[in-house]
A and B are shown apart, each in its own frame.
Chain A
Amino acid sequence: MSIMKLSIGPQHPISAHFRFLLDVDGDVVLKLEPDVGYTHRGIEKLAEKRTYLQNLPVIERVNSYCDSAGTMLGYLEVIEELMGLEVPERAKYLRVIAAELNRIASHLYAASLFSVATGLETMLMWPINDRELILDLLERLTGQRITYTYQTIGGVRFDMPDGFKEEALKRLDYLEKRTEDYYKMLLWNHTFHMRTKKVGILRPSDAIKLGVVGPNLRASGVKVDVRKDEPYEVYDRFDFSIPTGKNGDSYDRLEVRFKEVGQSINILRQALKDIPKGPIKKWVPPIVPKGEAYTRVEAARGEFGYHLIGDGSMKPYRLKISPPSFRNLIALPHLCQNIPLADVPIIYISLDLIPMDVDR
């Protein structure tokens, strides 16, 4: 049989800003080569030109697909490590609240994309609608729906509005109940099982070797979470577990995300309960001393690494961002070998790759 070359995307429902170059034989995919870079803005270069404060909105848009707060946290962590700055307690809690709300929103978004790929249209609408509840909360807290620039160097910009706590708890209760519906509609759905179980199995040894991070790594059964390994902000005070999968297939990757939503609700309840009173921001000079630091944070899609070299001025000398989707990207060609063509979208969606943060 002859081998045919296929090019899918970037205008394609499954590959938003991606292009896949496929080698197919009949309908068996022999090799997949992702063609990325359609959203490359050169954030690392731009960051060198802007001051630390001007960089806030820029860095946030590395991953603005519902995970701005988690992304930003890492950038602030790395600056504050170099400065040796201790943020007020209340601000730390507020940062965690924003980040965890974002994690829920992001996972719901992922779930709805997943359902599109499997052809379940109802489950496209449900998570997106429940995501609106979270976005409304975030809007109350930060004033924006998607891109917040809420956390700044030395704290956060606004305090919690009145009545936020009660409203948030109410919505979290609702969401927890709602998760059961998701299980009924999606995760226990026979059609869904047929399409996702045993599709794209990523073995734990391979996952580690390739450097896969986040829920994808945990779905393979490797218990790695920066929130536990190197607790930042106030994550060491919360009681939560790290859900892991057993088989590392596409189904597990979604299930882990749903379980993580449960854990985030858990964390949020604790955070809302013991948030202390006090100032929310510390004034700091916008100059970062000379030095070098690398910090890791666990954003919704996995581990963000920030490597900052400061030269004692108001601008970074070099800021390297190592985003989760870029590190998960390598799993895509690895998994797409000798599989039916129809499984490619499932595998792609299950990895939850966001082109924004692959490309920066």
Chain B
Amino acid sequence: MLQKAKDGLMDIKLFRRVMNWGKAWSLWSVHLETGCCGPEDMARACARFDTERFGTLPFPTLRECDLIFVTGFVTKKMAKRLKIVYEQMPEPKYVIAIGHCAISGGLWWDSYSVVQGVDEIIPVDVYVPGCPPRPEAWIQGIRMLQEKIAKEGMRKK
């Protein structure tokens, strides 16, 4: 029995799977609203859509979070703070870009103060289009991220 458990732990593949499972199902998201997709953030976190089913719990302290929802456009003023927040978060950390604006600037493509896509500032894992995306789409984004994490190698990220 003991031997079996030891072998199991030594088995890097199994270990990796357990690690990834743990990472994928405890994606706590930091409270940082950047754009006007914000109300849907509230909706998806509350009882009707309840993303806590998928382990995504909004949490105020960024030191304990692994996920940023970039909710919509990012202005140049916010971009610096977004970067600081991202850098302060401990590994592993993931980013979901919500809304057309976070993906490519969207409606504000010619604005003088909006960054044209968050991937200019921080790396993005999943893009969720919509203006704003419905809570179901948020959930799909979370699921996609979980699938991505499940395939992840141990070293990377």
Determine whether the beta carbon of A11 is less than 8 Å from that of B81. Answer: yes
Instruction: Please give 15 more A-B residue pairs, beta carbons under 8 A apart, in addition to A10-B78, A11-B85.
Output: A11-B30, A13-B31, A16-B31, A37-B75, A38-B81, A41-B111, A41-B113, A64-B39, A124-B46, A128-B46, A128-B48, A132-B43, A145-B134, A146-B132, A356-B36
CA distance A61 to B114 in the complex (A): 14
Is B62 in the interface zone, CB < 8 Å from A? yes
Determine whether the beta carbon of A46 is less than 8 Å from that of B110. Answer: yes
Which residues in A have their C-beta under 8 angstroms from that of B48? 128-129, 132
Nearest chain B CB to A194 CB, angstrom units: 23
Which residues in B have their C-beta under 8 angstroms from that of A42? 111-114
Is B131 in the interface zone, CB < 8 Å from A? yes
Determine whether the beta carbon of B73 is less than 8 Å from that of A41. Answer: yes
For B100-123 the 0/1 string (1 means CB < 8 A from A) is 000000011011111000000000
Determine whether the beta carbon of B47 is less than 8 Å from that of A49. Answer: no
Determine whether the beta carbon of A39 is less than 8 Å from that of B75. Answer: yes
Is B145 in the interface zone, CB < 8 Å from A? no
B residues near A (Cβ < 8 Å) are: 30-36, 38-40, 42-43, 46-48, 60, 62, 73, 75, 77-78, 81, 85, 107-108, 110-114, 131-132, 134
Contacting residues of chain A (85-137) with chain B, CB-CB under 8 angstroms: 109, 112, 124-125, 128-129, 131-132, 135
Partner of A46, one of B42, B47, B111: B111
Determine whether the beta carbon of B60 is less than 8 Å from that of A12. Answer: yes
CA distance A16 to B42 in the complex (A): 12
Which residues in A have their C-beta under 8 angstroms from that of B39? 64-66, 109, 146
Interface centre among B39, B42, B43, B46 (most CB of A within 10 A): B39
For A10-44 the 0/1 string (1 means CB < 8 A from B) is 11110011000000000000000000011111100
With A13-B31, A38-B75, A57-B107 in contact, do A147 and B131 touch (Cβ < 8 Å)?
Answer: yes
Partner of A40, one of B47, B60, B110, B113: B113
CA distance A356 to B132 in the complex (A): 14
Nearest chain A CB to B94 CB, angstrom units: 17
CA distance A293 to B42 in the complex (A): 37
Partner of B107, one of A12, A40, A58, A131: A58
A residues near B (Cβ < 8 Å) are: 10-13, 16-17, 37-42, 45-46, 49, 57-58, 61, 64-66, 109, 112, 124-125, 128-129, 131-132, 135, 145-147, 356
With A13-B31, A46-B110 in contact, do A109 and B42 touch (Cβ < 8 Å)?
Answer: yes
Partner of A45, one of B42, B46, B112: B112
CA distance A248 to B30 in the complex (A): 34
CA distance A219 to B81 in the complex (A): 35
CA distance A64 to B36 in the complex (A): 6
Interface centre among B36, B48, B108, B112 (most CB of A within 10 A): B36
| B48 and chain A: residue at smallest CB distance | A132
Which residues in A have their C-beta under 8 angstroms from that of B107? 57-58, 61
Nearest chain A CB to B148 CB, angstrom units: 25
CA distance A38 to B80 in the complex (A): 10
CA distance A49 to B110 in the complex (A): 10
Which residues in B have their C-beta under 8 angstroms from that of A41? 73, 75, 108, 111, 113-114
| A62 and chain B: residue at smallest CB distance | B36
Nearest chain B CB to A360 CB, angstrom units: 11
| B59 and chain A: residue at smallest CB distance | A13
With A13-B60, A37-B77 in contact, do A145 and B40 touch (Cβ < 8 Å)?
Answer: yes
CA distance A10 to B60 in the complex (A): 12
Which residues in A have their C-beta under 8 angstroms from that of B43? 128, 131-132, 135, 145
Determine whether the beta carbon of B108 is less than 8 Å from that of A46. Answer: yes
Determine whether the beta carbon of B47 is less than 8 Å from that of A17. Answer: no
Interface centre among B42, B60, B85 (most CB of A within 10 A): B42
| A356 and chain B: residue at smallest CB distance | B36
Which residues in B have their C-beta under 8 angstroms from that of A65? 36, 38-39
